[in-house]
Amino acid sequence: MTRCYQAEDEVPFNYSPLIAMSQLKFSTLIRFIFLSFLSGGTSFLFLTFVNRVIGQLMTQGYAAITQTYTLLFLLIVVLFIWTRRVLALAIIRFSQALFWSLRKDIIFLVLKSNYQQLSHRKDLVHTALVRDINMLTNASLNIIQFSTSIIIVVACLVYMATVSGPLFLVSLLVILLGTGLYQFNARSNNAYFKKARALEDRFMFYFNAILGGFKEIYMDTKKGQRIYGTKIAHIAGESVVNQEKAFVGLLNNQITGQTMFYLLIGAILLYCGAAWNIAPTDTVSFLFILLYVLSSVETIMVLLPNLLQAKISSDRIAKLQADLLSEKPLGELVDLQQVLGEFETIAVRDITFQYANATQGNFEIGPINFTISRGDVVFIYGGNGSGKTTFVSTLLGLLLPATGGVYYNDFLIDEQHGQSYSSLFGVVFSDFYLFDEFYGIEQLDPEKLAYYLHLFEIDDKVKVEDGRFSTTHLSTGQRKRLALITALLEAKPLLVLDEWAADQDPYFRKKFYTQIVPELKEAGFTIIAITHDDKYYNCADMRYKMEDGKLVQEVEPVFQNL
């Protein structure tokens, strides 16, 4: 039924995101430049071929078309098919590599960032994973088409210069004017696209609230309607207006560009040729290439909005990456008990902590002094909002104190050892997450597991199959029992429980305080428990009361009938 669980196919967690990204960029860049030239060159070859044949037809008639032209034509078609295939394959591989590389980057950085860094960036991470990466990947599919079009435009311009100098100069003037206008207008469009991205963040925030609070919304549909009516609908309205402005701006740009082109074509066809005495064959050749340029410019115009949005997404991802990296990196994980000796004491000295959140009244705790020794059972109690969880979070290393320090066996824990220190604790938070597998355990002890499942009276409900719980669809109290069993199997020297017994029935609550806690103490666990169960306060070796951010040791023994 149960078996030793080993992570057999585990990939080492040493993926270095920024190096991987730069390698990806560099190796593909050279290849893409080459492919873009090849692809643009093939299209240009086709254009000059057709132009040459038209020229011959106009001067010599159909007799000019020889077998060499047919062979040349077939060669160009084969070259076209080959370059397109190579190009398509390269794009697909690149975009998929980019997509997964970015996803892995972000997950890696999330796993590497500290709690405080991540806790207020969850929505940003979500939007980056759901929207920005897709935006960037889709744009990467277009990038070669985009660069190929640019190469065609440049090659055509050179060709046009050889056909007719004056016509080329006029065209160049119009193209430069059009590009200038486009750049000028693009700035305001860019601002609209940036705003669209910020609106998307807000949308994601409320969307997550709807999913997270769906039960509450189901119970009272007015809640959902209000979120819809006062938040989602407003964001949608603002977004529609904003996107409309952005896309109308782009459309205006496109229409202006196309109109300028049409005016140029009309001027060349109806006026310039005759006025400047240009041979009709040259005018036709010139216009033919110009029309080709127009189609490439249109491709560029169509792709540009996607690329602009992708640029914003790319900036967002880069900022998120930088934000998650910027704060002090977590040190290497080491076994602190090997480095600083077996756990004897943990002491916090003069620590203070303040939430940097003006809207919440800047709640602060401290200065707090607290010591726990091996084998102690410590209870912390106090009113709601008095700061118990905040204090325990600083003790665990989740929140970094503003002043003071945490000492392990009298060694001050510095940032380098922060994560190694945190991993000394097995924790069941009040808002715990129950993983369906034992991710923190390399070798699962089946006997211990069976024993704990029985001790916590849950062996008739849950089995462990292939290293995972047969189900996690249980009551809250039962799920908490499994979370505690997981923490116990991790065999950390310290156990921290935040209102663990709050969801247990009276019978099991009594069993927990009077049988399980002493047994765990006997087994060598050091326990810190936040509790409101005053009936069982005397089950602790020491009690502390938290009051308005100040921790006071309770010296009077508590006598209660159990």
Ligand X SMILES: Nc1ncnc2c1ncn2[C@@H]1O[C@H](COP(=O)(O)OP(=O)(O)OP(=O)(O)O)[C@@H](O)[C@H]1O
| Contact residues for ligand X, defined by CB under 6 A | 355, 357, 360, 363, 382, 384-390, 546
- To ligand X, the closest distance from the beta carbon of 120 in angstroms equals 8
First to last CA, the chain: 38
Q: In sequence order, what are the beta bridge partners of 465?
A: 468
Q: Of 273 and 382, which has the nearer Cβ to ligand X?
A: 382
Q: What are phi and psi of 439, to 5 degrees?
A: -65, -25
* Nearer to ligand X (CB atom), residue 167 or residue 551: 551
Q: Considering beta carbons, is residue 123 or 437 the nearer one to ligand X?
A: 123
Select 343 or 391, whichever has its Cβ closest to ligand X: 391
Q: Residue 434 CB, nearest distance to ligand X (Å)?
A: 19
Closest separation between CB of residue 513 and ligand X, Å? 18
Backbone φ and ψ of 554, nearest 5°: -85, 120
- Minimum Å gap between C-beta 402 and ligand X is 14
Shortest Cβ distance from residue 380 to ligand X (Å)?
A: 9
For ligand X, the closer CB: 366 or 387? 387
- Least separation in angstroms between residue 500's CB and ligand X is 12
Cβ at position 403, least distance to ligand X in Å: 17
Helix (H) or strand (E) holding 373: strand 364-373
Kindly write down the DSSP assignment for every residue of 146-189, as one continuous string: HHHHHHHHHHHHHHHHHH-HHHHHHHHHHHHHHHHHHHHHHHHH
Other C-beta atoms lying within 10 Å of the C-beta of residue 385: 12
Pairing of strands 345-354, 403-408: antiparallel
Which of 312-336 are b and which e, b meaning 16 or more Cβ less than 10 Å from the residue's Cβ?
Answer: bbbebbeebbeebeeeeebeeeeeb
- What DSSP state is assigned to residue 530? E
We find the least distance from the C-beta atom of residue 151 to ligand X, in angstroms, to be 53
- CA-only gyration radius of the chain, Å: 34
Q: Which residues contact 192 (CB under 8 A, 6 or more apart)?
A: 242, 243, 245, 246, 249
Query: Among residues 257 and 382, whose Cβ is nearest to ligand X?
Result: 382
The CA-CA-CA angle for residues 196, 201, 205, to 5°, reads: 140
Smallest distance, Å, CB 355 to ligand X?
3
Nearer to ligand X, 388 or 509 (CB): 388
Q: Between residues 11 and 356, which has the closer beta carbon with respect to ligand X?
A: 356
Report the residue number, 220 or 548, with the smaller CB distance to ligand X: 548
Question: Alpha helix locations (H) across 7-65?
Answer: 17-60
What are the beta bridge partners of residue 543? Answer: 379, 554
